[in-house]
Structure 1
Amino acid sequence: MSYSFSELDFIKPELGAEFTGEGTHFAVFSAHAEQVDLCLFSADGREETARLPLPKREGDIWSGYIAGLKPGTVYGYRAHGPYDPGNGHRFNPNKLLLDPYAKQVVGELAWDDALYGYRIGDAEEDLSFDERDSAPFMVKGVVQDPDFDWAGDAAIRRPWTETIIYETHVRGMTMTHPGVPEELRGTFLGMASDPIVEHLVSLGISAVELLPIQYFPDDRYLVEKGLRNYWGYQTLGFFAPQPRFLSASRITEFKTMVKRFHAAGIEVIMDVVYNHTAEGSERGPTLSFRGLDNLSYYRLSPDDPRHTYDTTGTGNTLNVAHPMVLRMVLDSLRYWVGVMHVDGFRFDLASTLGRTRHIEFDRDGTFFNAIRQDPILSGVKLIAEPWDVGDGGYQVGGFPYPFREWNDKYRDDVRRFWKGDGGLVAGLAERVSGSARQFHHSDRGATSSVNLLSAHDGFTLMDTVSYDDKHNEANGEENRDGHSDNHSDNMGAEGQTGDEGIRAARDRRRRNMMATLLLSQGVPMMLGGDELGNGQGGNNNAYCQDNEIGWIDWSGLDDPFLAFCRKAVAFRKAHPVLRQERFLTGEADEDGNVDIAWYRADGAPMDEDAWNDPELRVLGVFLCRPANGEGLDRLFLVFNAGGDCEVQLPHVDGVSGWTRVLDTGAEEDAFAEHPAEDPAMVYAASVAVFVPAR
């Protein structure tokens, strides 16, 4: 069929391929191109059936409308302009380019030297020019019809004080679960299946945080080693779901998953990567942004624009300081909220997004201000990974409201305390009370800290108590990759062991750390599989392990630790004193109630000497909060990383005695209630919680 552009009496504001009901409007940004061609392909993407120069240009937007062109059409772009790397330009019309706004991606990127704008192996390196057509090896975009039956779906907008996050991976979560139909494993529909949803509901999870699901290719060097980009932190299509997560090549499957989670009361948070793309450094391939307008889309070296400026460790940095690149990011976020109904985002290497034209991080920068004023985006959940690899990139506590932040200080201090390191009592107190030193400023609340024990990057909880050292040999980098300082402890044997004493000690330490997480102020985040005792064989950088190393092992469904986690989550939900919106001050209210107080084991208040005692391993904390007009919610928590000790319970007005409601040192049910003697015995390496006797 022959296509040609039609005249329109209006200019559509949307970028990308927009089906109007009568035809399709195409629009793409390039400030420095001299011509942009729309390329249409056969349904299988193998044959280029038409190449049409976009007829309109206004404000650096190239556009055209084709009447009668319907959803399902496969397309891409070619951009003409100067190939002048020394001045930042890398136009090469021989290279087919993925539309940055493509809503669906089809095909598989087949690595070939033709995907590069220069001749691989040439003496002039990236200054040379490659004339081969890359289309046979490239993925393409697909025109979409946005219609979907969202009837009955509504945004949950759960308060942060009631939020419990579960970070997981679509394939990792579903590949080995015996109850997920085999044909749905590794897909969005597998995530939406009854066994997965029922597990999350029974655990008490309120939000799933999915590792990247926007389109990403497998890195060439991984493919050549027989590995894959499992985690997905190499985005190329910011509007398109990852095709390998679709069971039947329909993006509506993602919408079905979201609708199913919402029906179960679970929000969906996307891990998004707007700090860099899959095109890498100037020696990387030309797949989309580089070929459309390298000088606009990427930060380039101010000394030599031939080279990319890298604050991400991936070879390039997306230039969100450019207004049209910023618009693309905001359009993408609004698309996932408005069209795909997601509930929030976790921003990978978010410090990069706050870097100004002068490269420095600015918490009042354009990106953050654009988010904060946006009536759609300012109302969803926003989480920053508050660092990158550039100068001044570590910014924990430095992000503006309404962002929350991953708190690696929480992870490290809690791991070190339970590992038995000295001088950590003060650090533990900071983390349990919400990390006020980092976050109590600029009208930020006590939910600013996203507390975590483990995440996709690093040891799982089980591996934290099973390995002294990382074991990343399967990654093919001679164990050089991944962090070496994990604050882990194998407790007597490296890896799996049949020693019952070591296994019991590991179980207790996992209970201690999970209890600490769920007893802390802030927003708790669990790593998917930790509740099941899932390990990765000591691999703390399983980014390329799309196999049993990276997948969750569901054999722990009957593990007593899963039952413990369920009860610990339920306990948190039952006690508003554990999830307060404001930071605790230790000052008495008008009724004389103190919201937080710290105690030594002998019942004396913590003083400066105690806080600085490197040998102190036990800490008591009293918490109090009015419980919705139904009386006070009061708890006394004891964290004991030392030996058995007697702990004097606090004398509080109106409390005639205490009941022990949690004891991680108990041989059987840790949540069994027992009247507490005073002083109370708190076992070695355990957490104990007391409530006023009823």
Structure 2
Amino acid sequence: MKKLSIVLLGASLLSAHASAEWNFRGTPNQWLSTPLELVSGNQYQTCQSFGDNNPRFKIDRYGDWNEAYPNADYTVAANKSYDIRFFSDSKTITATEVANCGDIEIEPPEDSWYFRGTANGWQATPMDSSDNITFCTTQTFANDEPRFKIDHYGDWTENYPQADVLVDANSSYDICFNADTKVVTTEKQQCVDDCPITPETLGAVYSPSATTFSLWSPENSNVSVEVDGVSYAMQAVPDFAGYTQVYQATVPGDLHLKPYTFYVNGVQVRDPYGKMAQAGTGDYEAVNIVMDMSRTEPLDGWAARPSLIEREDAIIYELHVRDFTIDASSGVSADKRGKFLGLVEPGTTYQGITTGIDHLKELGVTHVQLLPVYDFATCDGLPDSDPCYNWGYDPRNYNIPEDRYSNVPNDYEQRVREFKTMINEFHKAGIRVIMDVVYNHTYNNEMFENISMQYYTASDLSGTGNSINADVPMVSRMIQDSLEYWVDEYSIDGFRFDLIGIFSYQEVQKWASHLNSKFADRNLLIYGEPWNGYASDPLEGQRVRYGTTHNMVDQHVGVFNGAYREALKGSNDDTRSAYMFNNVAAADSGWAIYDGFRGSPYDANDGRNSTWFRNYAADPEQSINYISAHDNFALWDKVYLSASSNVVQNSSHQVMSFTPPSDLSYAKRVVNFGMGLVLTSQGIPFIHAGDEFLRTKTNHQQISSPNAWNYGDHGGAHNSYNAPDSFNAIRWSNKIANVATFDYFKQLIALRRQHAGLRMNSNQEIAQYLSVSRPEQYAGQVITGHITDPSDSHNLFIVYNSGNNQSITLPAGSWTKVADANGAANASVTGSTVVEGTAVTMFTQQK
């Protein structure tokens, strides 16, 4: 590194140090006062030769007997010489016999000088010396009127120079002091490699020689940071990198893994940008950890990211980390069940069938969407033997991997590395990773309230009592920075936003535009729920809704197509049904299915356009098509209950009683039909974990017992967010029992990936190459689609039939039936043919 040398001359003494003088008084000097020599610190020395006149002595402070040690005279042997040491801090004495005092060299005193300045919060930092004359230290200064002094004893009684030494902001200096001449020398480091980082984000920005701590504090100036037990005042800094109203302090040294806590008005506050937190710290505890993230990379390096040519090529699979492997049937090693590393353990099986990540590879999905994996509040720090369970929609630290999913939550480097390894192994398996993020609210107000209530909206938009207000620029920036951090540091491939509908679409545009610009090669998936927590919102017109989604088309932001979902299955939490149950009246006589088949395309000239009109996607990638997710009944539970009779539910959707269906064959056919519709519609398909083998979220899978559907006063199968593993754990025996359902999902996924016509990339292509028909003679039960996409090697003809078997006429030429109610098929067809009811039938024609 290069250095610029500046010498400060003419230092002056402020005050003399009134140090105590310690004196030897005893029989060798007739009890007069002989000053002791200061050796170092609090140690003093003399050598004395004693006669035979009752030899003894004391150590007297100031030589006036007002303070002397010990209380009784210290006695020694007659006619002997002694090296005598006195320790002024403990007031203890040692007397070591020597042959001759002339042979004893009185050790010169070791001096101490201390650095004190803005770089260390004006604390006393000892300076190093090799010759007891020149004392040196290296310090890093922030943008807080940087200055310093050199203090002799660390108590301000003697310090140099008279005026503070002023230095440049955001700079590091080698500082030396000559104890003889009292001259201060500063050498500014012009850094090349290992220099402190000028922060470009808030939080704790690490470098090997210093860490800069920054916090947004719009109303309060009493801001400090405690680092490893030492408190440092934080000073207001000018706006930088788009940040305003920021307080900052730079603390020297390599602080990797050191604990730190911000304080505002003396109250602990959490670091909204924290990269790690002390495991188990809960409400109103805010202990973060400084991290050198370069030490946390996967041990074998980052693998190549799986290719994604177009976003419509995605097939999303939603799973919960714990659910997927916690049951012994997962085949995952016992210590990894329910953990990050358990998700990606290869080679796991149950009675000969694949489980875990190998199951996902076999199924053929392109993305996994992980329910919250950041540090959430519920079940905080508890062992897996504890019955506590939660989905994780209660954020505590947005940028930190959840400790409960780590095998080593207190090994902070390894905890991060586990998460990165999980992402890396998914990538090696050809699967991208989407994070479920919950920026719309916090666990409770304690997360941010003592920093500023500007973090929160005035009204409760999320239904949790603490909705985040992204219309505040610095709050919006925090969300953007968090998203960028996960993509950049952890190689995340996209985000699913919980209740994205509480945000103004203009803010979401900013976040997505920033991410897609900075990571232009990633084809990130960004989508969310376009509704809020059932709240009245005075800014409804600018929030993310179906009616505003088209504004975000250039930023590649999509939303869940709840309108298509309800048109397919009916209600989410009771037995009301729709098209896939052949209830075409509930599905707008088939027109809602007609539109969903085409990707719910937005037409600016459609007079029906409104906040919740179902045709909203200005590009097919904006429509996330699904029939079940973690919320509400799982697909099989919904179908099973709808196929039951005499169903009684309370106002919380809990099941009180029902008569189970006597034959499940129709119900299983409905499941295939519903997923077949999703997998052959334009847009991006979404599957909830376990739907592919009829997973039930009833207690211990006792699906025929009404009692097994309920947990607590409100939860259970329809809302299992806090129900135990007995409700939520995936049992891999279901894959064996329902292999026909699994094969259907797998085969329809393969057909989708094989045919570009099922995943066209623009509304213009869909309008040109997909002809959808709803023939009147079938009363809305039959909908057909003829696809002639030139990028596909085949023409496609797809028939949706919710009713009985029907005879339909194919377009001209020879066709091959490639899918029916049971999955993949292979039959040559020409002219008229019968298509099964409650089924998707697909034909291909070689071009």
Q: What is the aligned counterpart of 1:104 among 254, 276, 296?
A: 276
> Structure 2 vs 1, CA of residues 587 and 413 (structure 1 numbering), >3 Å: closer, same or farther?
closer
Deviation at 1:297, TM superposition (A): 1.6
Describe the SS at the equivalent of 2:641: coil
- Indicate how the Cα distance of structure 1 residues 230 and 554 shifts in structure 2: closer, same or farther if over 3 A, else same: same
The answer to which structure has the higher strand fraction is: 2
CA, structure 1 residues 146+549, in 2 after alignment: closer, same or farther (shift >3 Å)?
same
The correspondence of residues 379-398 of structure 1 with structure 2, limited to 5 A, is: 380-388=524-532, 389-390=534-535, 391=537, 392=540, 395-398=545-548
Per the alignment, residue 448 of structure 2 pairs with 289
Displacement of 1:267 after TM fit? 0.9
Indicate the larger mover: 670-679 or 398-407: 670-679
Task: Give the drift of 1:236.
Answer: 2.0
User: Does structure 1 conserve the Cα–Cα contact (< 8 Å) formed by 2:140 and 2:210?
Assistant: no
Aligned equivalent of 2:815, options 658, 674, 692: 658
What is the rounded CA distance, in whole Å, between the counterparts of 2:838 and 2:643 in structure 1?
Answer: 22
C-alpha deviation, 1:620, in angstroms:
2.4
2:390, 2:726 → 1: CA distance?
12
| Number of aligned residues | 577
The 2-side partners of 1:377 and 1:314 are apart by: 33
Cα pair 2:581 2:838 within 8 Å, conserved? no
Aligned to 2:561: 407
Matches within 5 A, 1:437-586: 437=602, 444-468=618-642, 480-481=651-652, 499=662, 502-537=663-698, 538=709, 539-558=717-736, 559-583=739-763
Distance in structure 2 (CA, Å) of the matches to 1:493 and 1:505: 18
Matched, 1:191 2:343: yes
Q: What are the Cα deviations for residues 184-216 of structure 1, in whole angstroms up to 9, with x where unaligned?
A: 111111112114221111111101111111111
Distance 1:583 1:684, change over 3 A: same
How do residues 70-109 of structure 1 correspond to structure 2 at under 5 angstroms? 70-80=255-265, 93=266, 95-109=267-281
For residues 603 and 624 of structure 2, the distance between their equivalents in structure 1, rounded to whole angstroms, comes to: 12
5 Å matches for 1:108-507? 108-109=280-281, 138=285, 140-147=287-294, 148-149=296-297, 151-156=301-306, 158=308, 159-176=310-327, 177-194=329-346, 195=348, 196-218=356-378, 228=388, 230-249=390-409, 250-280=415-445, 286=446, 288-294=447-453, 296-300=454-458, 309-354=459-504, 363=505, 365-374=506-515, 375-376=517-518, 380-388=524-532, 389-390=534-535, 391=537, 392=540, 395-399=545-549, 400-401=552-553, 402-415=556-569, 416-423=578-585, 424=587, 425-437=590-602, 444-468=618-642, 480-481=651-652, 499=662, 502-507=663-668
Amino acid at match of 1:385: E
Q: How does 1:29-48 map to 2 (within 5 A)?
A: 29-40=216-227
- The answer to whether the Cα contact below 8 Å between 1:227 and 1:544 also exists between their aligned partners in 2 is no
Q: Which residue is equivalent to 1:129?
A: none
What does residue 618 of structure 1 align with?
Answer: 782
- Percent identity, aligned pairs only, is 27
Whether the aligned pair in 2 keeps the contact of 1:531 and 1:561 (CA below 8 Å) is yes
Work out the CA distance in 2 between the residues paired with 1:469 and 1:58.
65
SS in 2 for 1:462: helix
Q: CA separation in 2, counterparts of 1:277 and 1:438?
A: 37
Contact 2:601–2:618 under 8 Å retained in 1: no
Decide which structure has the larger Cα Rg and report it: 2
| Distance of aligned partners of 1:102 and 1:181 in 2 relative to their CA distance in 1, 3 Å threshold | same
Q: Which whole-Å CA distance do the structure 1 matches of 2:782 and 2:292 have between them?
A: 60
Please give the secondary structure, in 2, of the residue aligned with 1:189.
Answer: helix
Distance 1:149 1:78, change over 3 A: closer
Q: 1:397·1:405 contact (CA, 8 Å) conserved in 2?
A: no
In 2, distance between residues paired with 1:350 and 1:338?
22
Secondary structure of residue in 1 paired with 2:496? strand
The answer to whether the Cα contact below 8 Å between 2:602 and 2:618 also exists between their aligned partners in 1 is no
Question: What is the deviation of 1:481?
Answer: 4.3
The answer (yes or no) to whether the contact 2:805–2:837 under 8 Å persists in 1 is yes
Q: Quote the offset at 1:596 in angstroms.
A: 2.6
Quote how far apart the aligned CAs of 1:161 are: 2.4
Seen in structure 2, the aligned counterparts of structure 1 residues 322 and 693 have a Cα distance that, compared at 3 Å, is closer
In 2, distance between residues paired with 1:442 and 1:418? Answer: 22
Whether the aligned pair in 2 keeps the contact of 1:620 and 1:637 (CA below 8 Å) is: yes
Deviation of the 1:68 alpha carbon: 2.3
Higher relative contact order (CA 8 A, sep 6+): 1
Comparing 385-394 with 566-575, greater Cα deviation is found at: 385-394
Q: Is the 8 A contact 1:272 1:345 kept in 2?
A: yes
Q: Is the 8 A contact 2:600 2:616 kept in 1?
A: no
Deviation at 1:599, TM superposition (A): 4.5
TM-score computed with the length of structure 2 as normaliser: 0.63
Q: Helix, strand or coil: the match of 1:105?
A: coil
User: Which AA in structure 1 matches 2:215?
Assistant: V
Deviation track 1:287-342 (CA, whole Å, cap 9, x = no partner) reads x3111112x22223xxxxxxxx2111110221212222122111111110111110
- Report the Cα distance in structure 2 between the residues aligned to 1:17 and 1:411, rounded to whole angstroms: 44
Contact 2:627-2:674 within 8 A present in 1 as well:
yes
Other structure's SS at 1:564 match: helix
CA deviations on 1:406-434 (whole Å, 9 max, x unpaired) are 11112111111011213332111111111
CA distance in 2, matches of 1:227, 1:62: 42
Equivalents in 2 of 1:258, 1:317: separation in Å?
A: 30
Counterpart for residue 120 of structure 1: none
Alpha-carbon distance, 1:687 to partner: 2.2
Q: Secondary structure at the match of 2:752?
A: helix
**Mapped partners of 2:441, 2:808: distance in 1:** 52
Q: Following the alignment from structure 1 to structure 2, what is the Cα–Cα distance between the partners of residues 689 and 646? A: 14
CA distance 1:587–1:37, change in 2 (3 Å): closer
Q: Which amino acid aligns with 1:642?
A: G
Partner of 1:131: none
Aligned equivalent of 1:603: none
Larger deviation: 236-245 or 5-14? 5-14
Contact kept? 1:397, 1:438, Cα under 8 Å: no
Distance 1:246 1:528 in 2: 21
Q: Return the alpha-carbon distance in structure 2 between the equivalents of residues 153 and 326 of structure 1.
A: 32
C-alpha distance in 2 between matches for 1:75 and 1:244: 22
C-alpha distance in structure 2 between counterparts of 1:266 and 1:318, whole Å: 32
Question: 1:257 & 1:397 partners in 2: Cα distance?
Answer: 37
Pair 1:684 & 2:837 matched:
yes
1:304 alignment partner in structure 2: none
1:124-156: CA deviation from partner (whole Å, max 9, x where unpaired): xxxxxxxxxx5xxx2521111211446343344
Matched residues in 2 for 1:577 and 1:517: separation? 14
5+ residue gaps in structure 1? 42-48, 81-92, 116-133, 281-285, 301-308, 355-362, 471-477, 485-489, 589-594, 601-605
Alignment partners' CA distance in 2, 1:687 and 1:442:
25
| 1:5-24 deviation line (CA, Å, top 9, x unaligned) | 45513153331112201232
Q: Is the 8 A contact 1:529 1:552 kept in 2?
A: yes
Contact 1:70–1:143 (CA<8 Å) still a contact in 2? yes
Matched letter for residue 594 of structure 2? A
Alpha-carbon distance change, 482 to 386 in structure 1, aligned in 2, over 3 angstroms: farther
Q: Using a 3 Å threshold, how does the CA distance of structure 1 residues 243 and 219 change in structure 2: closer, same or farther?
A: closer
Q: What TM-score do the two structures reach when normalised by structure 1? A: 0.77
- Give the aligned partner of residue 19 of structure 1: 206
**Native 8 Å contact 1:271 1:346 kept in 2:** yes
